[in-house]
Structure 1
Amino acid sequence: MSGVFNFTFVPWFRSVAPYIHMHRGKTIVIGVPGEAIAAGKLGNIAQDLALIQSMGVQIVLVHGFRPQVNEQLRAKGYEPHFYKGTRVTDSVALDCALEAAGQLRYEVEAAFSQGLPNTPMAGATVRVISGNFLTARPVGIVDGVDYQHSGLVRKVDATAIQTMLDGGAMVLLSPLGFSPTGEAFNLTMENVATEVASELHADKLIFLTDNGGIRLRPMDPPGDDNPVDTELPLAYAESLLSQLPPAEKPSDMGFHLQYCVTACKNGVERSHIVPYLVDGSILLEIYTHDGIGSMVVDEKLESLREATIEDVGGILQLIEPFEKDGTLVKRSRTEIERDADHYTIIEHDGVIFGCAALYPYPEDGTGEMASVTVSPQVQGQGDGDKLLRRIEQRARAMGLKSIFVLTTRTMHWFIKRGFTVVDPSWLPEARKRKYNWDRKSLVLVKKLQ
């Protein structure tokens, strides 16, 4: 039994180690909605965050309280009132918000104080610090609707928060802020988390949500046949937002995406939308290659996009040395021009540094990933992984169940990323007829989830 355990645990732990090193010393802001706490997920979330902090990550936790405030209001005989997705906070609702914030702060602090033996919190020492780190301003009157005590973040005391983080504490923020005159305002968890991440120049902003990400076909209803888009470049996320209907509820597809886009535009390199209904989702998102939710990435001078006919010259220049040394099969300019829309490219400051093509075989439910190339100047910086993820996204969007590659020299790179070697007889009939038996290329296949 121990042999089987060793066989599974040791490779898994080794595969996680690079991500542990990568995130040590980084700052992550995590938005936990009141719905997750109401669903009984706080205990496991606290355990996971304590583990992440023990690996050297600085954490700011922002909790929400929508359902808790609604429950308090109804208990007092009032109905919640929203306009365009934002709560109209009268004096009764503000009292409910203050009560809910106090109760939830107590629950969160209690969750991080558990240290029973034989539990994930054993030996963990997590100091949770809260404070008046936020200055707020009123939303005001919109379309004739007076939001009263509903507010927006005016200023974040980033210096004080950073001091707490540097001292080894986890900072807990409630969605409440105060004006310079001491007036309290009800904020939203999403607004607070976004503003705090922006002011801290956090490395990541993570929202736990019930829908768990942006679907590859966002206009279609969610389902097993419409998987989550794991990586969205900032430009694509902005374009998608402009196509989606206005998001007013947390369950709307674009609701959290709009905050992720804002954070990335304000200097947060990566913003994530992760399902709280999946146990350990934060760990899966941070410490595995593909993650489990959707990530919006600010790629700055780098652009990951589908190629056009204007890119053919750059693609030819990139792949020519690899064709000469036999790493790639030679393709003519005419062929690449004809198939330009099959290619995905990575360009840095207008220069193409990587490419890959997808040739679908829809009748067989698979597609070939071909001409995978990264310039020697940038190898080892993750561009190959980005190309692979985009090709996988394109394949899933086409309804393909797998992708395959033919290679003579880079087998181990693909195996490390989930491909397995199969016999050439596995190939679709149309591709098998073009297989070069003299070249003896290995065929590797990756199933798409």
Structure 2
Amino acid sequence: MSAVFNFTFVPWFRSVAPYIHKFRHQTFVIGLTGEAIAAGKLQSIVQDLALIQAMGVKIVLVHGFRPQVNEQLHAKGHAAKYSHGIRITDSIALDCAQEAAGQLRYEIEAAFSQGLPNTPMAGATVRVLSGNFITARPVGIVDGVDFQHSGVVRKVDVAGITRTLDMGALVLLSPFGFSPTGEAFNLAMEEVATSVAVALQADKLIFLSEIPGIRMHPEAPASEDNPIDTELSLADAQALLARLPRALLPTDTGFYLQHCAKACKGGVARSHIIPFAVDGSLLLEIYVHDGIGTMVVDEKLEELREATPDDVGGILQLIEPFEKDGTLVKRSRTTIERDIDHYTIIEHDGVIFGCAALHPYPEAKTGEMAALTVSPQSQSQGDGEKLLKRIEQRARAMGLESIFVLTTRTMHWFLKRGFQPVDPDWLPEARKRKYNWDRRSQVLVKKL
């Protein structure tokens, strides 16, 4: 039993090491819904946050309290009121919000303070600091509706939060803001988390939400044929939001997505929507390659896009040196022009710095990734990784179950990214007929 455990644990732990190194000293803003706390998930989430912080990540935790405020209102015989997807905070609702926030802060601080032996918190010393880091202004009157004590973020005290994080503390924010006159405003957790992430230029914004992420076909029901889309470009997220109805409820597809898109537009490199219902979802999203929810990535449309006929010359210029030294098989202009819609390119300031093609074999539910090329000027900057991810996205969208490559010199790069070697006889019949046995290319496959 011990040998089996070692066999699985050691390679797993080694596989997460690159992510531990990558995220050390980075800043993550976590949006924790009140629903997650109401569902009894606080203890496990706190344990995971303490572990993530122990690995060198700076954390700002913004908690929500939607169900807790509604519960307080119900106990007082007062109905919860909403308009435009925003709570109308009258004086009674403001009192309830303050009570709920005080109770939740107490519970969260207590959870971070536990340190019993033989528990995940043993030896953890997480200092939790809160403060008046958010300046707010009133929502005011919108379409004739007076939102009273509901507010929106006006300013984030970046210097104060940064100093607190640099002290090694976890910053805990309630969805409240204060005006220069000392008036308190009830804010939306999602807006606070997004505003703080943008102001800090955080490396990640993560929402622990009621929904598992964004599905490949958001309008269709959840099923095995409609899995979670693990990565959306900012452009794709904005296009999806444009065709979805306005999101007013947290369970609406676009509710968290609109905040993720806003964060990415504001300079946050990656925003995530993950389910609080899955135990360890934070660890799975951060430290496992494909994650568990949906990640919105800030990739400018002009940098990573599908190729057009105007790009043929730039692609030829890019791949020519690699054809000459034998790294790539030679392709004629006619071949590239014919297959141009198969190509994805990366360009900077109008110059093509990387390309890759996906040639599908639908009958075998697979596709060949070919001509993966990155200019020597931009190698080691992650462009190859970006191209691979986009090719994987395109393959999934076509319903393919795997992609394969033929290579003679770059085998190890693909092995490190989840490809496995197979015999050339594995190839689809149509591709096997074109296989060059003299070149003796290695065939590597990655399941999607």
- Which TM-score tier does this pair reach, normalised by the shorter chain? over 0.9
Query: Cα offset for 1:302?
Result: 6.5
Matched, 1:206 2:206: yes
112-121 or 272-281, which deviates more = 272-281
Q: Secondary structure at the match of 1:72?
A: helix
Which ranges of structure 2 fall in alignment gaps of 5 or more residues?
none
Query: Cα offset for 1:151?
Result: 0.8
Question: Structure 1's 272 and 84: CA in aligned 2 closer, same or farther, altered over 3 A?
Answer: same
In 1, the alpha carbon distance for the partners of 2:389 and 2:133 equals: 39
Query: Cα offset for 1:299?
Result: 3.4
Matches within 5 A, 1:15-34: 15-34=15-34
- Corresponding position of 1:40: 40
In 2, the alpha carbon distance for the partners of 1:214 and 1:310 equals: 33
AA aligned to 2:228 is V
Which ranges of structure 1 fall in alignment gaps of 5 or more residues?
none
Q: Secondary structure at the match of 2:303?
A: strand
In 1, the alpha carbon distance for the partners of 2:209 and 2:316 equals: 43
- Corresponding position of 1:256: 256
In 1, the alpha carbon distance for the partners of 2:321 and 2:229 equals: 33
AA aligned to 1:227 is P
Q: Secondary structure at the match of 2:160?
A: helix
- Corresponding position of 2:51: 51
- Corresponding position of 1:446: 446
- Corresponding position of 2:156: 156
- Corresponding position of 1:371: 371
Query: Cα offset for 1:232?
Result: 2.7
Query: Cα offset for 1:175?
Result: 0.6
Query: Cα offset for 1:256?
Result: 1.4
**Contact 2:235/2:301 (CA < 8 Å) preserved in 1?**
no
In 2, the alpha carbon distance for the partners of 1:355 and 1:293 equals: 27
- Corresponding position of 2:64: 64
**Cα deviation code 1:145-177 (max 9, x no counterpart):** 111111111121221111111111111001111
**Contact 1:233/1:304 (CA < 8 Å) preserved in 2?**
no
**Contact 1:301/1:349 (CA < 8 Å) preserved in 2?**
no
**Cα deviation code 1:333-367 (max 9, x no counterpart):** 11111111111111122211111111112222111
Question: Structure 1's 22 and 361: CA in aligned 2 closer, same or farther, altered over 3 A?
Answer: same
Query: Cα offset for 1:101?
Result: 0.8
- Corresponding position of 2:319: 319
- Corresponding position of 2:181: 181
Matches within 5 A, 1:149-298: 149-298=149-298
In 2, the alpha carbon distance for the partners of 1:346 and 1:208 equals: 32
**Contact 1:197/1:204 (CA < 8 Å) preserved in 2?**
yes
Query: Cα offset for 1:400?
Result: 1.3
- Corresponding position of 1:331: 331
In 1, the alpha carbon distance for the partners of 2:209 and 2:334 equals: 47
- Corresponding position of 1:103: 103
**Cα deviation code 1:88-139 (max 9, x no counterpart):** 1122222221111111111111110111111111000011111121121111
218-227 or 196-205, which deviates more = 218-227
Q: Secondary structure at the match of 2:198?
A: helix
**Contact 1:345/1:352 (CA < 8 Å) preserved in 2?**
yes
Aligned alpha-carbon RMSD (Å)? 1.7
In 1, the alpha carbon distance for the partners of 2:308 and 2:263 equals: 30
Query: Cα offset for 1:300?
Result: 5.5
**Contact 1:361/1:428 (CA < 8 Å) preserved in 2?**
yes
Query: Cα offset for 1:308?
Result: 1.0
Q: Secondary structure at the match of 2:363?
A: helix
In 1, the alpha carbon distance for the partners of 2:25 and 2:407 equals: 38
**Contact 2:198/2:266 (CA < 8 Å) preserved in 1?**
yes
In 2, the alpha carbon distance for the partners of 1:261 and 1:153 equals: 17
Question: Structure 1's 219 and 318: CA in aligned 2 closer, same or farther, altered over 3 A?
Answer: farther
37-46 or 373-382, which deviates more = 373-382
Query: Cα offset for 1:244?
Result: 2.2
Query: Cα offset for 1:267?
Result: 2.3
In 1, the alpha carbon distance for the partners of 2:179 and 2:306 equals: 48
**Contact 1:345/1:387 (CA < 8 Å) preserved in 2?**
yes
* Percent identical residues: 77
In 2, the alpha carbon distance for the partners of 1:228 and 1:316 equals: 36
- Corresponding position of 1:389: 389
Query: Cα offset for 1:77?
Result: 2.3
- Corresponding position of 1:405: 405
In 1, the alpha carbon distance for the partners of 2:301 and 2:74 equals: 51
**Cα deviation code 1:247-268 (max 9, x no counterpart):** 1111222211221222222222
Question: Structure 1's 274 and 377: CA in aligned 2 closer, same or farther, altered over 3 A?
Answer: same
In 2, the alpha carbon distance for the partners of 1:334 and 1:277 equals: 52
**Cα deviation code 1:166-210 (max 9, x no counterpart):** 111111001111222222211000111111112222221111112
Query: Cα offset for 1:41?
Result: 1.3
AA aligned to 2:77 is G
Q: Secondary structure at the match of 1:160?
A: helix
Matched, 1:422 2:425: no
Normalising to structure 1: TM-score of the pair?
0.95
Query: Cα offset for 1:433?
Result: 1.9
In 2, the alpha carbon distance for the partners of 1:428 and 1:328 equals: 21
Q: Following TM superposition, where does structure 1 have runs of at least 4 consecutive aligned residues deviating by more than 4 angstroms? A: none
Q: Secondary structure at the match of 2:376?
A: coil
In 1, the alpha carbon distance for the partners of 2:208 and 2:349 equals: 34
In 1, the alpha carbon distance for the partners of 2:384 and 2:214 equals: 23
In 2, the alpha carbon distance for the partners of 1:288 and 1:353 equals: 28
- Corresponding position of 2:85: 85
AA aligned to 2:25 is G
Query: Cα offset for 1:86?
Result: 1.0
AA aligned to 1:47 is Q
Q: Secondary structure at the match of 2:40?
A: coil
In 2, the alpha carbon distance for the partners of 1:81 and 1:110 equals: 31
Question: Structure 1's 303 and 232: CA in aligned 2 closer, same or farther, altered over 3 A?
Answer: farther
Q: Secondary structure at the match of 1:377?
A: helix
Matched, 1:128 2:124: no
**Contact 1:217/1:397 (CA < 8 Å) preserved in 2?**
no
